[in-house]
Structure 1
Amino acid sequence: VGHGPATEEIDSDRQTVFTRLDRAMARRGLVEGLRRELLRADLHLTVPEYLVVTALVTLSGLAIGYLISRFWVSALVLAIGSALLPIIYVRWRQRRRVTAFNNQLESVLSLVVAAMRAGYSLLQSFDYVSRRLPDPAATHFARVVREVTLGLSMSDALENLLARTQSEDMELIVTAISIHDEVGGNLTVILDTVTHTIRERVRIKQEIRSLTSMQRGSAYILVALPFIVTGVLFVLSPDYMMRLFEPGPTLCIPFAALVCMALGFVLTRRIMDIEV
């Protein structure tokens, strides 16, 4: 208990250092893209904190690889794989968050339409949604309300929402609201039609996902298996594996294998990627 204030002071100093670094990098325009990616993944990290985590994970992979195999090439391979882990994690969180948001859009539109029919404005309807639904819809629409309250136009706030979510269904909603702002009309009727369209799209996407689940699993396994086997062989017998990387014709084998696996994975995903 006696260390509580000291611990809080250290945490505060750490936050201050990372916050200052983040602001300094932002002023030079170095972190905007990465900051947007972290925001889309709903990771409460500054860019310097994310870079430090990536560096620590990479160094850990390098150290573990060298301690296990006592061979620098194996250590470098594991370090490169470790460096990709934070990127893969961010992408995974983004996809999961977008999927969860898309699954909530039908409920979002139903609440918005009901609120507008009860006499609420569009902004008040978004505030109602942010208080009634769980994340991620609550967070996204609460931010829209906050941005409009601070002086941003509704169209700009919705464009920011679209940039954060990267959702095709949300793009349909934003387009419908923008057209209504320009030409007028009954927005509740328009949103009712959009709700029906999104409901059918979600249903068809779920059916397609169920029908292609086995093929997607096979694609991931076939791509991951060569890397797993190669990593195990590098750890168990690095001298044997290094013959593939000696100067000469054998050097073409690993590069050709990478190209073929990448092409096979892309083609498999293209076959299963059915637009709705």
Structure 2
Amino acid sequence: MGDLGLFLVLLFFAVLFISQALLLPVAGRKAKHGELASRLKQAQKKLDDESLSLLQEYYLKEMTPVERKLIKISLFEKIKKMLDLAGMSISLSKLLGWTFIISVLVGLTSIALGHLWYLTLALFFGVWILVYLYVQSRITKRLQKFEEQFPEGLDIIKRVLQAGQPINQAFREVGEEMPEPLGIEFRKTFNLLNFGYDMRLAILQMVERTPTVSMLAFSSAVILQKETGGNLTENLDKVSKVLRARFKLSRKIKTLSAEARLSSWILVLSPFALYLLTLVINPEQANLLITDPRGISAISFGIISLAIGALWIRKIINIKV
């Protein structure tokens, strides 16, 4: 029973992490471009204490009293920012509460079934890991959709600016014409500007909510124009062309790597499919793998090798643009 429990634990985490390792997003990841990020940090340092307090006040305004206490802890603050990035309407306290209740129920069920303590512990934390991976997948999809919509949003801003309207009106037009997630982010920024917030403050708040390469490039162009002057329409036109070229290249890379990703899925899932096939054709021989200690050792080594191989494949295929 002990060996079988260890086998189930390894199998659970192997399938979990292998599936995540093979999810290869080409676009929609949080930006980590050092040069643009450092430029925005320098712009944030120039904000006075009153502006920074306004930024913090706006961030805390929509939270419940419980959440305001929770985010004082850095771990819960990071989870709250993840929920904002994912665009999920559930509050931090509800997410933590429901996840804890479900993980406890799963743990109690495992105890009732007579599982070993480490299997129960693995299932308890497995619920938290699944919730984390779900939120991460929502973040990736939302940011990817945001980047797909962004060049079209820049075209709207250029048209409004060319018509002689201020940039505040451009943010409003994008917010009204574009669907989520781009539209709602520009509406929030327009509301900040309408309430009298400084342009740099509103832009930095927008970057916090959607930290993509597209957003970093746009915010850098706007802040640079506010500080040094210049033709914003021309700058945004160049940014739009670069972003379209980048997205086109990302799509091309995704297409060219499709065969490699399909091959990786086949290589990783074929051992599990082969075991299920053997279980149907010759159950006695298949059961040896989970009853004989040598079979458990072989499966454990194979699962670890599969996980390492999947991460290796991800490293090779996942090309940053």
What is the TM-score with the length of structure 2 in the denominator?
A: 0.66
Higher mean alpha-carbon deviation, 117-126 vs 154-163, is at 154-163
**1:1-276 residue pairs with structure 2 within 5 A?**
19-26=64-71, 31-66=76-111, 70-72=114-116, 73-219=118-264, 240=290, 254=300, 260-276=305-321
Distance apart, 1:161 and its partner CA: 1.5
Once the two structures are superposed, residues 9-66 of structure 1 have per-residue CA deviations (whole angstroms, 9 ceiling, x without a partner) of xxxxxxxxx9332233245666322111100011112211111121133234334545
Give the distance between the partners of 2:307 and 2:129, measured in 1 at CA: 16
Output the CA distance in 1 between the equivalents of 2:130 and 2:270.
17
Q: Which runs of at least 4 in structure 1 moved beyond 6 Å after TM superposition?
A: 224-230
| Structure ranking higher on relative contact order (CA contacts 8 Å, 6+ apart) | 2
CA contact (8 A) 2:142 2:181 kept: yes
SS at 1:127's partner residue?
Answer: helix
Tell me how large the CA RMSD over aligned residues is.
3.3
Distance 1:166 1:222, change over 3 A: farther
| Structure 2: distance between partners of 1:242 and 1:65 | 24
Q: Determine if contact 2:71/2:80 at 8 Å carries over to the other structure.
A: no
Cα offset, 1:170, TM superposition: 1.4
Q: CA deviation at 1:146?
A: 1.8
Q: Which runs of 5+ in 1 are unaligned?
A: 1-17
Compute the displacement of 1:153 (Å). Answer: 1.8
* 1:12 alignment counterpart: none
Superposed displacement of residue 225, structure 1: 7.6
Partners of 1:242 and 1:55 in 2: CA distance: 36
1:125–1:263 CA distance, 2 compared to 1 (3 A): same
Report SS of the residue matched to 1:31.
helix
Opposite residue 87 of structure 2, the aligned amino acid is: D
Write the distance in 2 (CA, Å) between the matches of 1:265 and 1:150: 50
TM-score, normalising length: structure 1: 0.76
CA contact (8 A) 1:127 1:141 kept: yes
**Cα–Cα, structure 1 residues 152 and 190, in superposed 2: closer, same or farther, change >3 Å?**
same
Q: How far 1:258 moved relative to its partner? A: 6.7
Aligned length: 247
Structure 2 CA distance, aligned partners of 1:123 and 1:55? Answer: 43
